[in-house]
């Protein structure tokens, strides 16, 4: 405490003008109070004698230690102010660039743009429409509304934010030194929350630069997003290709086709009927189709480093090969039927009771296979169900033509039936082969498919200023999608990358999409991004 005989120095203890509360950094009320408290403490320190104004006015000089103390104190105050300002800036930056604020800044809040339910037509309303074109129009509209509603549900959920925030949980070493390659790579699976070398991952708190000293009480538990289509978009009723029920369905069809093939061989050996011969060829090719489906299913499910993006295109390739075999085989059956029609032999074909029983048994077994396979929601098994339904109709025609010809006494009806059945098979499989050839050659997506993908891209994030282009084309049964989005020129590389890759994952979660590629730009125009390939 200072002596009453020595008045206080106004320059050290009197408060300055009251600073504004909302002053710039380093000049606010709190800073001023801290400065005055520091000055007040220095003057009242018992280790030093303060000089009065009278002593200074008459030429008194302070101690050298006092001068040095005042100089050091002023330097410390300036360093404290600068350090405090930097800490405030870092804290504000951490808040603005934190996971929640960052995802809100880039993606924004959910904002459904349309009330799709207003345009939905119920089954009763569709049945009340007498015009077939009008009914087909509203059925197509209902299909699009279902897709748009699902996309709205997807984008309004936390999934886009979770995908974007997952990049904030990456190890700090990946940001500073690139990819960290350990000296020894273990073949054993690493425990959760560790690198491949077994070291634990330290997640930075609120995006700060220090991962070794997290804030007290802060224990982040990042939400891991499974980045597979079945976990993001694909409906739950779709059965995966590797499910046990799919394998059982394929084996059951394989066994049924093998038994029916042997039975039809016995019928053809006993009765020289062209219609039954067509049924035998169809059964043999059904057996082959089951082998092709089983082979492609096994190869697709097996990972091979020689095929980095998988072998999903084997399925349309297998269907194309099978189509060629079907067309070639039934062309031979059609030629045999034409030769019989042109021959001089007019003998009426008669089916035995055993042959009729085998053909009826074939229809019954195929009916059971169709009824069971259609309950399995898988594309390969659904193809087997469609094939079983076709076989039911085909076998019914194969037995109907010779029976009617025998009782009606028409010798050419059996050959004509075989020719008609062959022409139907050739037409159907030619159309299927043409469709798969176009898809493998890169056919463009339909207008409805493009609209669905464009709607998803438009609604994904508010930081996307424009969509420069969207290309969707077939790469087999599914689509490859290339999207060019326009972002603000000041968007950082980190934000651009994370936003584009999150959009890419969401696009690839759509069941019709195989691969998606997102390109970021800062201008609404762009030069050609690929070299125009010349033929030859």
- The pLDDT, as a whole number, for residue 75 is 59
Contact between 370 and 388 under an 8 Å Cβ cutoff? The reply is yes
Contact between 419 and 338 under an 8 Å Cβ cutoff? The reply is yes
Contact between 234 and 378 under an 8 Å Cβ cutoff? The reply is no
Dig out the tokens for 3 from the structure: 């002596």
Tell which phi-psi region holds residue 442, choosing left (phi > 0), alpha (psi between -120 and 50) or beta. Answer: left
Quote the radius of gyration of the chain (alpha carbons, Å).
Answer: 39
Global pTM value: 0.63
Contact between 241 and 314 under an 8 Å Cβ cutoff? The reply is no
CATH code 3.30.70.1350 region(s) in the chain: 447-521
Contact between 47 and 73 under an 8 Å Cβ cutoff? The reply is no
* DSSP at 7: P
| 3-class secondary structure, 127 | helix
How far is the CA of 330 from the CAs of 280, 293, 336, in angstroms? Answer: 11, 21, 10
Q: What distance in Å separates the CA atoms of residue 260 and residue 262, rounded to the nearest whole number?
A: 5
Contact between 207 and 220 under an 8 Å Cβ cutoff? The reply is no
Which strand (E) or helix (H) includes residue 451? helix 447-460
- The pLDDT, as a whole number, for residue 85 is 75
- The pLDDT, as a whole number, for residue 17 is 44
CATH code 1.20.1510.10 region(s) in the chain: 244-440
- The pLDDT, as a whole number, for residue 349 is 80
- The pLDDT, as a whole number, for residue 448 is 92
CA 159 to chain centre: 11
- The pLDDT, as a whole number, for residue 445 is 94
- The pLDDT, as a whole number, for residue 240 is 53
Q: What distance in Å separates the CA atoms of residue 55 and residue 70, rounded to the nearest whole number?
A: 18
Dig out the tokens for 254 from the structure: 């394989």
- The pLDDT, as a whole number, for residue 71 is 62
- Nearest partner of 161 among 214, 236, 220, 102, judged by Cα: 102
Write out the chain's pLDDT in tens, 536 residues: 444 544 444 443 333 444 443 344 444 444 444 445 445 444 444 444 444 444 444 455 555 666 666 666 665 666 666 676 777 777 776 666 566 677 788 888 776 778 888 899 998 899 888 888 999 999 999 999 998 988 888 888 888 888 888 877 666 555 444 444 444 444 444 444 443 444 443 444 433 333 334 444 444 454 555 555 444 444 444 545 556 778 888 788 888 888 888 888 888 888 778 888 888 888 888 778 778 877 888 888 888 888 888 888 888 888 888 889 989 988 988 998 898 888 888 888 877 888 888 888 888 988 988 888 888 777 667 777 887 887 888 888 888 888 888 888 888 888 898 899 889 889 988 998 999 999 999 999 999 999 999 999 999 988 999 999 999 999 888 999 999 999 999 999 988 999 999 999 999 988 889 999 999 999 887 777 666 665 55
- The pLDDT, as a whole number, for residue 501 is 92
If you search the block for the tokens 């694909």, which residue do you land on? 234
Beta partners for 483?
470, 518
- The pLDDT, as a whole number, for residue 312 is 83
Q: What distance in Å separates the CA atoms of residue 97 and residue 168, rounded to the nearest whole number?
A: 10
- The pLDDT, as a whole number, for residue 230 is 46
Does domain 244-440 bear CATH number 3.30.70.380?
A: no
Sheet holding 513-521, edge to edge: 466-474, 479-486, 513-521
**In the CATH scheme, what is the code of domain 447-521?**
3.30.70.1350
- The pLDDT, as a whole number, for residue 84 is 67
How far is the CA of 102 from the CAs of 167, 322, 495, in angstroms? Answer: 11, 52, 9
Which strand (E) or helix (H) includes residue 513? strand 513-521
- The pLDDT, as a whole number, for residue 29 is 43
């Amino acid at each position: 405490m200072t002596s009453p005989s020595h008045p206080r120095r106004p320059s050290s203890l009197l408060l300055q003008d009251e600073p504004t509360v909302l002053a710039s950094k380093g000049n606010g009320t709190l800073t001023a109070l801290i400065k005055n408290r520091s000055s007040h403490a220095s003057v009242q320190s018992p280790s030093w004698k303060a000089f009065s104004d009278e002593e200074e006015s008459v030429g008194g000089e302070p101690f050298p230690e006092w001068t040095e103390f005042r100089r050091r104190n002023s330097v410390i105050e300036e360093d404290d102010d600068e350090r405090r300002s930097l800490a405030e800036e870092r804290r504000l930056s951490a808040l603005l660039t934190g996971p929640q604020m960052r995802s809100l800044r880039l993606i924004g809040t959910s904002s459904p743009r349309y009330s799709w339910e207003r345009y939905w037509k119920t089954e009763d309303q569709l049945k009340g429409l007498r015009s077939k074109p009008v009914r087909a129009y509203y059925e197509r509209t209902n299909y699009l509304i279902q897709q748009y509603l699902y996309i709205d549900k997807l984008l309004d959920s936390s999934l886009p934010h979770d995908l974007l925030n997952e990049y904030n949980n990456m190890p700090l070493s990946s940001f500073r030194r690139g990819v960290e390659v350990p000296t020894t790579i273990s073949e054993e699976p690493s425990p959760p929350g560790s690198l491949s070398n077994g070291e634990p991952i330290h997640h930075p708190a609120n995006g700060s630069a220090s991962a070794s000293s997290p804030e007290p009480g802060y224990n982040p538990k990042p939400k891991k997003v499974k980045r597979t289509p079945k976990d993001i978009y694909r409906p739950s009723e779709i059965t995966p290709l590797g499910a046990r029920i799919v394998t059982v369905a394929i084996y059951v069809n394989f066994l049924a086709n093998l038994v029916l093939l042997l039975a039809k061989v016995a019928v053809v050996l006993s009765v020289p009927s062209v219609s039954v011969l067509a049924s035998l060829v169809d059964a043999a090719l059904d057996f082959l189709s089951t082998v092709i489906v089983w082979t492609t299913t096994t190869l697709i499910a097996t990972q091979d480093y020689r095929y980095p993006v998988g072998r999903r295109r084997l399925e349309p390739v297998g269907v194309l090969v099978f189509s060629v075999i079907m067309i070639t085989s039934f062309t031979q059956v059609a030629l045999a039927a034409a030769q019989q029609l042109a021959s001089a032999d007019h003998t009426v074909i008669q089916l035995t009771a055993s042959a009729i029983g085998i053909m009826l048994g074939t229809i019954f077994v195929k009916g059971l296979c169709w009824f069971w396979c259609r309950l399995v929601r898988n594309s390969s098994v659904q193809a087997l169900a469609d094939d079983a339904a076709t076989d039911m109709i085909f076998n019914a025609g194969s037995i109907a033509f010779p029976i009617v010809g025998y009782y009606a006494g028409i010798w050419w009806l059996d050959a004509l039936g075989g020719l008609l059945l062959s022409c139907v098979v050739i037409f159907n499989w030619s159309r299927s082969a043409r469709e798969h050839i176009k898809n493998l050659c890169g056919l463009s997506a339909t207008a409805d498919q493009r609209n669905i993908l464009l709607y998803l891209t438009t609604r994904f994030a508010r930081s996307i200023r424009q969509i420069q282009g969207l290309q969707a084309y077939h790469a087999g049964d599914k689509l490859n999608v290339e999207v060019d989005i326009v972002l603000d020129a000041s968007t950082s590389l980190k934000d651009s990358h994370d936003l584009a890759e999150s959009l890419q994952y969401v696009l690839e979660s759509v069941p019709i999409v195989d691969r998606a590629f997102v390109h970021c730009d800062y201008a609404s125009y762009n030069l050609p991004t690929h070299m125009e390939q010349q033929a030859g």
